[in-house]
Amino acid sequence: MRAETARPGLKSGMVPAPNLLAFAFASLLLIAVPGPSVLFVIGRTLALGRRGGLLSVLGNALGELVQIAAVALGVGVVLAQSVVLFSVVKFAGAAYLLYLGIQAIRHRGRGPTAADPTRPASTVRILREGFIVGATNPKSIVFFVAVLPQFVDYPAGGIPFQLATLGALFLLIALVSDSGWAMIAGTARRWFASSPRRIAALGTTGGVMMIGLGGTLALVGSAPDLQPGK
């Protein structure tokens, strides 16, 4: 959706308002349907609680911020078009999700509950884990490479800045949406927290979700279709 109405000689370097609105609407449609990021957040929240879910949302967004910077600088195109590089990132991200899922199952029932809020998981560790997942999500890499340029006003100049602006808008919408999912999952977890057996089952569920997500992302091709769901 490239703007073709920019007047000659004017290079604002800004994304036109109609393009921003169209991109915001498209992002809302994409994010509204649960995808890998949502499943990751729900799985983490079930395993670690609401605090862990919200920190995972923030870490995931910081990881995707790296992807957006790479796309704005032109690195993202090289990564998405290189089978070897894309495969390395894809399998690294999938393997890490499998690791997190296995850890959640191994330590099910050991996390803080409403009755035992002691020894919460490290903030830095949760942020780091979310960051790695966000930075190595192959579907978001392809989305940013394929979709962001369609909303850039090329005659206006400042292409990297426009790409970064669109990416920041997407992340803002995703942060709000994913945080909402974390709050919902956190509420459900608190309801089950009165029973150690139930909280262990929730930890197992969260781990299984992350393992399934890791397996799914491992099957993503070098140019996956952009299905709804982030």
The pLDDT profile of the chain, 230 residues, written as one tens digit per residue, is 444 444 444 466 788 999 999 999 888 887 877 777 788 888 888 888 899 999 999 999 999 999 999 888 887 667 666 777 777 777 877 787 788 778 767 766 554 443 334 445 789 999 999 999 889 887 788 788 888 888 888 888 888 899 999 999 999 999 999 999 999 988 877 776 666 666 666 667 767 776 876 777 677 554 444 444 55
- CA 3 to CA 154: how far, in whole Å? 7
Q: Which domain holds residue 161?
A: 37-218
Could you tell me the pTM of the whole model? 0.70
In a domain, 74, yes or no: yes
In a domain, 229, yes or no: no
In a domain, 84, yes or no: yes
Phi-psi region at 35: left, alpha or beta (left = phi > 0; alpha = psi -120 to 50): beta
- CA 103 to CA 126: how far, in whole Å? 13
Q: Give the number of domains in the chain.
A: 1
198 alpha-carbon distance from chain centroid: 28
In a domain, 182, yes or no: yes
In a domain, 228, yes or no: no
- CA 112 to CA 109: how far, in whole Å? 8
- CA 36 to CA 140: how far, in whole Å? 9
